[in-house]
């Protein structure tokens, strides 16, 4: 029986600051070790390549990104809805990576790994700050860090937006939690009676401003954080315990600026994703709703049994009604059960609502793209389920005799299992071929995986296998314009130009604004000698996608063939401006400048091409010819030798080297080069003429041998 003193003790009216559990290890050391373990786990990603799924659009072929961090490109980042997204801070981070690492993939992967490691430490710091439970907070943070569902967000360069927005979002919650604690203490009866709380000197208003600032940065990294004001309300419910009679409206009013930021971001996102949303127009609301219910259950399953993870899950279009009803029953049943436990275990309802609520923008009710679900969408929502699971397990085992031992063993077992599965899943992201072969193993009817695997194989020169992959993609989705375009590209490399043209035309029938197909059709038409039509296609590609460098380059070639040299120069210069690391336009610009008589500038262009691509045979050859024309024979000889080293079977290089050697008085060596040119090409008239001239040199003063110097 309780004593009278105990019975008369008043219940607290506000949440007091959490009592921090004592630990033999400093908290900062625990956070640092967690970050280091996370980095070690994901370190192999720094040896991975870019993949051909959005990495090209976000980084490799995005001239605003590849040129590094400039004021002009920074303005573009804030003004652009490129790639159907408005996330200027993410663009700035990619630009900074290019500034520091160029296009070396290890640096871009390293940034993702570092951000994820920082996020793990922030999760630990946030939960411990709010609850005072050190080991439970550490376990949630560790499982968040090492869970296989995190791999997609960390190992995929294009998903920088996930880890970056999460970093800013977690910082916003850290400062918000501090602000909320200070506000609660200020409003307490103890404070009104003159008891001064033992909090730091930072003003609550500053913490509020910092929370708002970091949320703004997070929203400008990825709009997934539009639910963050609701997450703040959930934290007010538990563990901050700010929900009191008559306080709800005050708590909502307090977050109006946060809701305003989220609303503004939602509007911008809706506008810029309009094109991507049209991809889901074929899915009626009933289909989308059914898929949403099943996706919730699939996410739950993958969190607790993370097998069969893939980069793309095709939308089935129609789920069996029985499965939809079962999924709806599961979601409703869990919700009702946890609602019933809200007074005794408020963390259960809070964690569940965190998970369900954060997924709403990406669950498919508003369909963007044609995927059914995506592992990356669970990056932050999964925190709610981890809190629910860890705090729930702790409460469930409180009366067990060996509760600490049981929880420790279970926690370590879960972490070790996740470490093994995550390292295995990380290996699937090594390169494009590995990634999409794995996707085909774990999914069915995956046209995206077939298409992207085809691209990877085509890049490796495995054209026949690439064609089979594109054909399979089209069997699964006959109206996929990109697969038609890619099949055309592979057919063209097989020399089947007419069939390639048919595929490009079909792609453009399905998607008239596909700039890539216009460009590729131009290449095929040029191959057939239909130069005027090719020019028209290049110009249309440029109109649709002004920052696309390749059609500028090929338009320059086509204009050069028409004798429009000045226009060709302009196109090459534009291609170089858009894609500075692209060697071919430098070489062709050099050729155009030679025709204009600007040989010194042409030499600079050839040299720049060779800086970008040291084994560029054509640039070595053209540079040698121009040096020969200018009388810089020693330098020309060195360049011809380099051409022959790179391509021993080139008769022209042997002939021209012979001419250069003769001019230096090295007659015997010159004869050897002319003879080698004739061995390689017996009907080579100029080499025969040059050899005859050299052999006649002992009799009289002949006309010196000539080099073939047309660039």
- The pLDDT tens digits for 207-232 are 999 999 999 999 999 999 999 999 99
Contact 610, 638 (CB under 8 A): no
The per-residue pLDDT for 186 is: 53
The per-residue pLDDT for 5 is: 40
Distance CA 574, CA 569 (A): 9
Contacts 24+ apart (CB under 8 A), 97-104: 97/59, 98/59, 98/65, 98/66, 98/67, 98/68, 98/69, 99/68, 99/69, 102/581, 103/59, 103/60, 103/66, 103/581
Nearest partner of 44 among 425, 302, 378, judged by Cα? 425
Residue 16: pLDDT band with limits 50, 70, 90: very low
Distance CA 507, CA 493 (A): 18
Q: The tokens of 312 are what?
A: 């793309």
Could you give the count of Cα atoms lying within 13 Å of 403 in the half-sphere of its Cβ?
12
Distance CA 68, CA 282 (A): 39
Average pLDDT over residues 545-567: 95
Contact 51, 432 (CB under 8 A): yes
**Residue 440 DSSP class:** H
Does the pLDDT of residue 39 top 70, yes or no? yes
Does the pLDDT of residue 543 top 90, yes or no? yes
The per-residue pLDDT for 215 is: 98
Contacts 24+ apart (CB under 8 A), 692-698: 694/658, 694/662, 694/667, 694/670, 695/671, 697/667
Q: Three-class SS of residue 546? A: coil
| Continuous H helices in 305-381 | 321-340, 346-359
* pTM higher than the cut 0.85: yes
- The pLDDT tens digits for 304-358 are 999 999 999 999 989 999 999 999 999 999 999 999 999 999 999 999 999 999 9
Q: Which helix (H) or strand (E) holds 262?
A: helix 256-272
Residue 10: pLDDT band with limits 50, 70, 90: very low
Domains of the chain, earliest start first: 27-427 (no CATH), 445-698 (1.25.40.10)
Q: The tokens of 434 are what?
A: 């590995």
Q: Three-class SS of residue 89? A: helix
pLDDT: which is higher, 246 or 700: 246
Does the pLDDT of residue 201 top 70, yes or no? no
Residues with Cβ < 8 Å from 136, sequence gap 6 or more?
Answer: 127, 390, 391, 394
Q: Residue 38 region, left (φ>0) first, then alpha (ψ -120 to 50), else beta?
A: alpha
- The pLDDT tens digits for 62-106 are 989 998 999 999 999 999 888 889 999 999 999 999 999 999 999
| Continuous H helices in 443-514 | 447-459, 463-476, 481-493, 497-510
Q: The tokens of 347 are what?
A: 């963390």
Centre a 10 Å sphere on the Cβ of residue 106 and count the other Cβ atoms it contains: 12
The per-residue pLDDT for 399 is: 81
Does the pLDDT of residue 7 top 50, yes or no? no
Q: Residue 566 region, left (φ>0) first, then alpha (ψ -120 to 50), else beta?
A: alpha
Ranges of beta strands (E only) in 5-130 are none
Contact 512, 543 (CB under 8 A): no
Residues with Cβ < 8 Å from 86, sequence gap 6 or more?
Answer: 80, 220, 223, 265, 268, 269, 272
Q: The tokens of 136 are what?
A: 């439970």
> Residue 528 to residues 498, 501, 532, 559: CA-CA distances in angstroms?
9, 10, 11, 16
Which residues is 198 bridged to in the sheet?
Answer: none
- The pLDDT tens digits for 97-134 are 999 999 999 999 999 999 999 999 999 999 999 999 99
Count Cβ atoms within 10 A of the Cβ of residue 53 and give its class: 0-12 exposed, 13-18 middle, 19 or more buried: buried
Distance CA 427, CA 421 (A): 10
Ranges of beta strands (E only) in 368-423 are 371-373
> Residue 304 to residues 144, 336, 382, 385: CA-CA distances in angstroms?
12, 21, 11, 10
Q: Three-class SS of residue 373? A: strand
Residue 407: pLDDT band with limits 50, 70, 90: confident
Output b/e per residue, 262-281; b: 16+ Cβ within 10 A.
Answer: beebeebbeebbeeeeebbe
Q: The tokens of 235 are what?
A: 């934290």
For the chain, helix (H) and strand (E) counts, in that order, are: 37, 2
């Amino acid at each position: 029986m309780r004593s009278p003193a105990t019975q008369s003790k008043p219940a607290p009216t506000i949440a007091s600051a959490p009592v921090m559990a004592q630990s033999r290890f400093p908290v900062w050391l625990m956070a640092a070790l967690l970050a280091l373990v996370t980095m070690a786990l994901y370190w192999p990603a720094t040896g991975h390549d870019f993949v051909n799924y959005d990495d090209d659009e976000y980084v490799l072929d995005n001239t605003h990104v590849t040129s590094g961090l400039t004021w002009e490109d920074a303005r573009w980042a804030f003004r652009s809805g490129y790639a159907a997204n408005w996330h200027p801070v993410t663009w700035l981070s990619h630009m900074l990576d290019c500034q520091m690492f160029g296009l070396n993939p290890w640096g871009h992967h390293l940034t993702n790994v570092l951000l994820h490691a920082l996020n793990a430490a922030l999760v630990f710091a946030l939960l411990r700050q709010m609850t005072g439970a050190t080991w439970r907070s550490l376990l949630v943070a560790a499982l968040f860090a090492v869970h296989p569902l995190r791999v997609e967000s960390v190992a995929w360069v294009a998903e920088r937006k996930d880890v970056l927005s999460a970093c800013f979002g977690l910082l916003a919650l850290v400062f918000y939690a501090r602000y909320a604690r200070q506000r609660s203490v200020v409003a307490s009866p103890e404070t009104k009676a003159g008891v001064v709380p033992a909090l730091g000197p930072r003003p609550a208003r500053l913490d509020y401003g910092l929370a708002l600032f970091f949320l703004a940065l997070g929203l400008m990294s990825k709009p997934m954080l539009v639910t963050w004001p609701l997450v703040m309300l959930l934290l007010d419910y538990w563990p901050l315990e700010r929900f009191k009679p008559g306080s709800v409206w005050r708590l909502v009013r307090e977050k109006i600026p946060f809701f305003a930021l989220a609303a503004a971001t939602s509007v911008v996102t809706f506008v810029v994703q309009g094109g991507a949303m049209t991809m889901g127009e074929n899915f009626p609301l009933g289909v989308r709703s059914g898929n949403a219910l099943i996706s919730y259950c699939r996410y739950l399953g993958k969190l607790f049994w993370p097998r069969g993870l893939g980069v793309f899950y095709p939308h089935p279009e129609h789920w069996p009604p029985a499965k939809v009803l079962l999924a709806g029953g599961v979601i409703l049943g869990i919700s009702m059960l946890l609602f019933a436990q809200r007074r005794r275990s408020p963390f259960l309802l809070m964690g569940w609502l965190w998970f369900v609520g954060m997924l709403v923008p990406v669950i498919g009710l508003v369909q963007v793209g044609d995927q059914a679900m995506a592992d990356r969408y669970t990056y932050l929502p999964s925190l709610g389920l981890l809190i629910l699971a860890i705090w729930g397990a702790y409460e469930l085992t409180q009366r067990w005799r060996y509760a600490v031992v049981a929880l420790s063993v279970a926690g370590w077992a879960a972490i070790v299992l996740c470490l093994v599965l995550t390292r295995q899943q990380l290996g699937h992201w090594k390169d494009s071929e590995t990634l999409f072969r794995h996707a085909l193993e774990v999914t069915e009817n995956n046209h995206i995986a077939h298409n992207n695997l085809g691209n990877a194989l085509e890049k490796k020169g495995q054209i026949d296998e690439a064609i089979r992959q594109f054909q399979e993609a089209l069997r699964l989705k006959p109206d996929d314009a990109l697969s038609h375009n890619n099949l055309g590209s592979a057919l063209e490399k097989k020399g089947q130009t007419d069939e390639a043209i048919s595929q490009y035309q079909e792609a453009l029938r399905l998607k008239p604004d596909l700039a890539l197909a216009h460009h590729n059709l131009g290449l095929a038409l040029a191959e057939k000698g239909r130069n005027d039509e090719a020019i028209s296609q290049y110009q249309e590609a440029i109109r649709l996608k002004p920052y696309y460098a390749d059609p500028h380059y090929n338009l320059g070639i086509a204009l050069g063939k028409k004798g429009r040299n000045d226009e060709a120069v302009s196109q090459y210069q534009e291609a170089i401006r858009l894609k500075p690391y692209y060697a071919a336009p430098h070489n062709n610009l050099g050729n155009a400048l030679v025709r204009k008589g600007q040989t010194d500038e042409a030499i600079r262009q050839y040299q720049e091409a060779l800086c970008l691509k040291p084994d560029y045979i054509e640039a070595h050859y053209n540079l040698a010819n121009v040096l020969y024309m200018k009388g810089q024979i020693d330098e020309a000889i060195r360049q011809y030798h380099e051409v022959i080293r790179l391509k021993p079977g080139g008769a022209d290089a042997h002939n021209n080297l012979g001419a250069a050697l003769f001019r230096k008085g090295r007659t015997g060596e010159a004869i050897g080069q002319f003879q080698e040119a004739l061995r390689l090409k017996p009907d080579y008239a100029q080499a025969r003429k040059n050899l005859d001239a050299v052999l006649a040199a002992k009799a009289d003063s002949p006309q010196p041998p000539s080099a073939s110097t047309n660039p």
